[in-house]
Amino acid sequence: MDMSLVAAAVSAQAGATQQQIATAVLKSNLDTQKSTVPTLLGVGQQAASLANVAPGVGGNLNIAA
């Protein structure tokens, strides 16, 4: 077998491996950004709102117990 053909095959395999690693890193970065943006915008704080609860809920808190 010609050595240039072997070198080309090894080079192609290394390129494919690099592409898989780059894709995995890119997906990880996108997932991180997807979870970070709502945190920075304060979207998670809207869930703590007491706008839809019954009257009197959260009015008195007994911390002595």
pLDDT at 14 over 90: yes
CA 3 to chain centre: 44
9/60: higher pLDDT: 9
- Range ranked top by mean pLDDT from 2-6, 20-24, 31-35: 20-24
Q: Give the C-alpha separation, 12 to 57, whole Å.
A: 65
Query: Which amino acid, one-letter code, is at 37?
Result: V
* pLDDT value, residue 55: 77
pLDDT in tens, 29-61: 998 888 887 777 776 555 556 667 777 776 776
Is 90 exceeded by the pLDDT of residue 26?
yes
pTM: 0.52
